[in-house]
Amino acid sequence: MTSTPADRYGTGRRGPGRSNRWDIARLNPPSRLWGSNGVAFGPDGRLYVAQFLAGQISAVDPATADIEVIVPMDGPVQSPDDLAFGADGSMYIADLVPGRVWRRSPQGDYTLVSDQVRVPNGITCVGDRLFVNEMKMNGRLLELFPDGRDPVVLTEGLALGNAMQLGPDGCLYYPHMLTGEVWRIPADGGAPERVARDVHEPVAVRFDRGGVLTVLSRGEAGIVTRIDLHGSGARSVLTSGVVGLDNAAFDDENRMYVSSFASGGVTEMHPDGRTREIVPTGLDGPFGLTVDLGGTVYAADHYRVAALPPTGVRDVGEVRTHGHLELTHAVTADDSLLHTTSQYGEIRTHDPAQGTTRVRAKGLDRPTGITTTPDGRTVVAETGAGRIMALDADDTLTVLAEGLGHPVDVAFDAEGRCYVSDDQLGAVLVIDDTDDEAAPFTLADGLQSPQGLAVLGEELFVVETGRRTLTAISLTTGECRVEAEDLPVGLPPGTTRTQPALLTHHMPGTPRSFAGLTTAPDGTLLLSANGEGTVLRLRRGRPAT
């Protein structure tokens, strides 16, 4: 276990890549916590953070902001969403996507407690007792037994359970995320009772050291609701501005630390709404990228579309969120609109000015890269089906090409030819969109996991995530040339990780790796460095030395 520098790789790298032809600069700082979900103070006084997207758990020192990876991303735990500590110092982990609950002993040994909990999320310990609930419709709340005894179901009917805690009255308190309610049930069983209704998108239920019920909202505004359970039941509501609150923990001095599934980091939040970042927020990806006519950079960031100023981010607060466009994987600008693909299998159109989103197509099989054509169509790589699809202004889908392997991105040149990257085939294909009978042919092969594509002049640029390079392909000769290397894309070198599958609709999944690429109006390239959580700007010309 080693301290983590200011990048996800943990390598202490100083630069975002190497090139003799391009100047490479970050538009935003690297993310130190790749998403932050369940949080709990451990026996050593550090705040332990479950990182669902990263597939790891880190310990944060609130005084110094030092971070240490405790549960690595290539270990047995795939998608930790919440955690709790038992009386003996054991860490219990809700491994959401595969449906497992783990125990990690104080010595670092892992034991599978249960694989019978579907979508386990909220988890808490009461002394040496262990409770977990399910984040699904008609979910259950169960007591689990590390010694192998059968689970005991305390209640059913949860409308997406999540972070829960024992209250001063000996009851377990938990949210129903879909109905905006908070419920409780005696830890020894009994009839569940609704405690509060009309709570804004409740995602976590916590009690401060004085016994005040605190409920976090998962919405964009970062709403926190405090409810007086001892007297009148009066509420106080504050808006923190922390996007996508996920969980909270109180230290011995009653300071509250919150996490964000949408932007990571750890923030101290005061009762009056003031905040202080302990670990700065950042991007969860980024994945697909686009630039509008005004130069604003938009990044598909799994739980949201994030907007970055064209001159770069001087303060993390400058990164704006455009809607909880869940499981957003790619984005393209079309005048004032944004078209996105979702791992739910949807194509959506978002209006940033109005704050509205319209679903235009459903039921696609893992759509990824997206672009627009001069005639107004929206073209998508339907990765799971091996097809390239076009969506017209009337929301009619047509097939441009099928029978492909694993297409992940699409780009068009000025003549209307469509280029497709296939990261499993290791090739870039060409589809002549002007000829309905023309079969796709190979422009370049022998590439290592090519993903993001962008046309600039007479060259096609592609991100080879397998060898972490930016490669230029001549559109006339097919000749390939490495333009930049050692790029922070994909998993850290030498790391292997089992990719959890996407769950059913309205259930979370972890994002498929996708390093997007786009051009800006000034002729620069923008690349999603999803290995460190940054957007890279590449300008032609030798880097300064």
- Domains 36-279 and 289-491+514-540 are alike in CATH topology: no
Q: Are strands 397-401 and 129-134 parallel, antiparallel or unpaired?
A: unpaired
* pLDDT per position as a tens digit, 218-247: 988 889 999 988 767 789 999 988 888 999
Which contacts of 356-359 are long-range, i.e. CB under 8 A and separated by 24 or more positions? 357/323, 357/325
Token pair listed for 111: 């034991």
Residue ranges per structural domain of the chain: 36-279, 289-491+514-540
Tokens of residue 9, six digits:
């790789």
Q: Name every residue whose Cβ is closer than 8 Å to that of residue 375 and which is 6 or more positions away in sequence.
A: none
pLDDT value at 411 more than 50: yes
Distance of CA 217 to the CA centre of its chain: 17
- Quick one: 36-279 is in which CATH superfamily? YVTN repeat-like/Quinoprotein amine dehydrogenase (2.130.10.10)
In the structure, what pLDDT confidence band is assigned to residue 3 with cuts at 50, 70 and 90? very low
Per-residue pLDDT of 54-73, as tens digits, reads 889 999 999 999 999 999 98
Q: Which of 417, 421, 399, 398 is nearest to 408 (CA)?
A: 421
Task: Name the token pair of 236.
Answer: 């106080």
* Stretch 468-475: mean pLDDT: 96
What is the arrangement of strands in the sheet containing 356-361, beginning at the earlier edge strand? 328-334, 337-342, 346-351, 356-361
Beta partners for 24? 538
- Name the percent of the chain in helix, strand, coil, to the closest 5: 0, 45, 50
Q: Is 318 helix (H, G, I), strand (E, B) or coil?
A: helix
Helix (H/G/I), strand (E/B), else coil: 410: strand
Q: Provide the 10 A C-beta neighbour count for residue 147.
A: 5
Degrees (nearest 5) of the Cα angle 530, 536, 541? 145
pLDDT digits (tens, 9 = 90+) for 259-285: 999 889 999 999 888 899 999 999 988
Answer yes or no: is pLDDT of 294 > 90.
no
CA 489/CA 93 separation, integer angstroms? 28
For the question of whether the overall pTM of this predicted structure is more than 0.85, the answer is yes
Helix (H, G, I), strand (E, B) or coil at 384: helix
Tell me whether strands 171-176 and 181-186 are parallel, antiparallel or unpaired.
antiparallel
Residue 502 has pLDDT above 60, yes or no: no
* Preceding peptide of 492 cis, ω within 30°: no
Determine the average pLDDT of the residues in 91-120: 96
Q: What percent of the chain has pLDDT over 70?
A: 91
pLDDT of 435 reads 61
Q: Kindly tell me the number of DSSP H helices and DSSP E strands found in the chain.
A: 0, 48
pLDDT of residue 5 exceeding 50, the answer is: no
Supply 219's token pair: 């919405």
What is the distance between the alpha carbons of residues 126 and 141, in angstroms, rounded to a whole number? 14
Closest by alpha carbon to 378, among 412, 413, 327?
Answer: 412
Q: What confidence score (pLDDT) does residue 542 get?
A: 63
pLDDT of 1 above 70: no
Which residue shows structure tokens 């996007």? 243
Q: Which CATH number fits domain 289-491+514-540: 2.70.70.10, 2.30.40.10, 2.120.10.30, 2.60.450.10?
A: 2.120.10.30
pLDDT category, 181, cuts 50, 70, 90? Answer: very high
Written as six digits, the tokens of 49 are 């953070």
Give whole-number Cα distances, 465 to 10, 238, 409, 450, 452, in Å.
Answer: 18, 43, 13, 6, 9
Contact 309, 320 (CB under 8 A): no
Sign of the four-CA dihedral 51, 57, 62, 64: negative
Q: Which amino acid is at 249?
A: A
Handedness of CA 454, 455, 461, 464 (dihedral sign): positive
- Contact criterion met (CB below 8 Å) for 31 and 283: yes
SS3 state of residue 335: coil
Per-residue pLDDT of 8-40, as tens digits, reads: 555 555 678 899 999 999 999 998 888 899 999
pLDDT for 344 equals 83
Q: How many alpha carbons fall within 13 Å on the CB side of residue 145?
A: 7
401 CB neighbour count, 10 Å cutoff? 22
Phi then psi for 105, rounded to 5 degrees?
-70, 165
The neighbouring-strand residues paired with 260 are 245
User: Which region, left, alpha or beta, applies to residue 157 given φ > 0 means left and ψ of -120 to 50 means alpha?
Assistant: left
List Cα–Cα distances, 143 to 39, 125, 148, 189, 254, in angstroms. 20, 10, 12, 10, 28
Task: Give me the residues paired with residue 104 across strands.
Answer: 91, 110
Nearest to 361 by CA among 383, 392, 401: 392
What letter would DSSP give residue 533? T
Neighbours of 397 (CB within 10 A): 17
Please tell me which residue, 434 or 332, carries the higher pLDDT value: 332
102 backbone dihedrals φ, ψ, rounded to 5°: -115, 155
| Residue in the structure block whose two tokens are 């405090």 | 226
Residue 155 is predicted with a pLDDT of 97
pLDDT at 429 over 80: yes
Dihedrals φ, ψ of 383, to 5°? -60, -50
SS3 385: helix
pLDDT average, residue stretch 445-462: 96
DSSP letter, residue 543:
P
pLDDT higher than 80, residue 493: no
